[in-house]
Amino acid sequence: MQQPYAKIVVKIGTNVLTRADGSLDITNISHLVDQLATLKKQGTQLVLVSSGAVGAGRELLPAADQLEGVVRRQMLSAIGQVRLMELYRQLFAGHQLLCGQILATKEDFRDRQHYLNMRNCLEAMLHERIVPVLNENDAVAITELMFTDNDELASLVTAMLNADALVILSSVDGLFAGSPNDPNARLIAEVDAEDESVLAHIAPVKSSFGRGGMDTKLRMAQQTARLGADVILANGQRPDILLQVLAGEGPRTRVKARNGVSNVKKWLAHQPDAKGKVFVNAAAKEALLNSQSVNSLLPIGVTHLEGDFQKGDLLRIIGPNKEAIGLGIAQYGAGEAQDCLGKKGQKALVHYDYLVVF
Ligand code: GLU
């Protein structure tokens, strides 16, 4: 049996929460809450990321199908989220547990202050033994700035809370070599965080109601594992699946965590936007990507800069062929950096502790 995880994030996809006709599958939701309550009683700290708001809304207002896409999603999620939370509230209360709702947008993860604020709230809830239930704030999210899907939100929260594992429950058992609908396809039990060859085996299928697909799931899972959490993909419609996979049993795919990644690096790895760009030469690129040694970004390896960044701003690091190499936090502003560009013996523009490479 594997070591129990102290802190986990569980993401439940729309297809696990709804039946084939789109209505909420209250029997299965109730069974999942039973399992979450068992884990909670065993002392596991857990955060739930639940989809299903749009699905629950669709059941309440089938006529919304006439509306235009964005407004339709906004409205359905607004009414469905209430329904979903009411259900969770009742089901958790049956186990003498409180749950609380947090709706997030991608914007909430961009600003470090905002990010820390959200983390404080989640940690306080965990401390009080409350189950945080997160979802994307679909009612206000701007289409271009939405999470790819709730897997992305769950992955961000896993990194944010330094959780030991992220369990992603969908309507398939995990990653298959081939199509999950092919009875001869093999379930891949374990995937390495760095193994890109797995992607080639995954059939490009998408679930019927949720937003994500299996290839984005794998990408997200590997990124999360690289940041230090085990990621387990399993079928949320199977009885007792959550308890089983956390005990190292049952059909699932596990992407194994890499150890020792700092909190700052976890935050950095998920930042979509940078204030400035730093173009580096081949030697600097090689030094930064060298996994055998620890290297900061020195001005001598910088060929040119873009953007009026200040100390503390996020920089995108770009290689000689315009390839993105990584992200880092500027130790000083663009003016000072310009003065020491290409020169020897200067202070690092990005210190190793504030640097992530892709
Ligand atoms: N936030 C959406 C919902 O609650 C689901 C997004 C997804 O499919 O991952 O309906």
Residue 263 has what pLDDT? Answer: 67
Distance CA 254, CA 267 (A): 23
Q: Find out whether the beta carbon of 150 lies less than 6 Å from any atom of ligand 1.
A: yes
For residue 56, the ligand 1 atom closest to its alpha carbon is 10
Strand residue runs (E) in the chain: 7-12, 45-50, 99-104, 131-136, 165-170, 176-177, 186-187, 190-191, 230-235, 253-255, 276-280, 302-306, 314-318, 324-329, 355-357
Distance CA 290, CA 139 (A): 44
DSSP 174: S
Residue 27 has what pLDDT? Answer: 97
Tens digit of each residue's pLDDT (9 = 90 or more) over 50-102: 999 999 999 898 887 788 888 999 999 999 999 999 999 999 999 999 999 99
Residue 253 has what pLDDT? Answer: 94
Q: For a substitution probing ligand 1, which of 54, 83, 143, 155 has the most ligand atoms within 8 Å of its CB?
A: 54
Provide the token pair at 128.
Answer: 């009080």
Residue 268 has what pLDDT? Answer: 74
Tens digit of each residue's pLDDT (9 = 90 or more) over 246-261: 999 999 999 998 876 6
Domains of the chain: 7-265 (3.40.1160.10), 274-357 (2.30.130.10)
Residue 209 has what pLDDT? Answer: 46
For residue 14, the ligand 1 atom closest to its alpha carbon is 8
Per-position pLDDT tens, the chain of length 358: 466 899 999 999 999 999 988 899 999 999 999 999 999 999 999 999 999 999 999 989 888 778 888 899 999 999 999 999 999 999 999 999 999 999 999 888 877 778 889 999 999 999 999 999 999 999 998 887 788 889 999 999 999 998 999 999 999 899 888 776 778 888 999 999 888 888 777 766 555 445 556 777 888 899 899 888 999 999 999 999 999 999 999 999 999 988 766 667 777 776 667 889 999 999 999 999 876 677 899 999 999 999 999 888 889 999 999 998 888 989 999 999 999 999 988 999 998 888 888 7
Question: What torsion do the CA atoms of 92, 93, 94, 97 make, to the nearest 10 degrees?
Answer: 60
Q: Find out whether the beta carbon of 152 lies less than 6 Å from any atom of ligand 1.
A: no
Residue 208 has what pLDDT? Answer: 47
Which ranges of 102-194 would DSSP assign to H, the alpha helix? 112-127, 150-160
Residue 2 has what pLDDT? Answer: 60
Q: Find out whether the beta carbon of 136 lies less than 6 Å from any atom of ligand 1.
A: yes
Q: Whose CA is nearest to atom 5 of ligand 1?
A: 51
Q: Find out whether the beta carbon of 135 lies less than 6 Å from any atom of ligand 1.
A: yes
DSSP 175: -
Q: How far is the CA of 54 from the centre of ligand 1 (A)?
A: 7
- Check residue 111 and give left, alpha or beta (phi > 0: left; psi -120 to 50: alpha): beta
Contact 278, 305 (CB under 8 A): yes
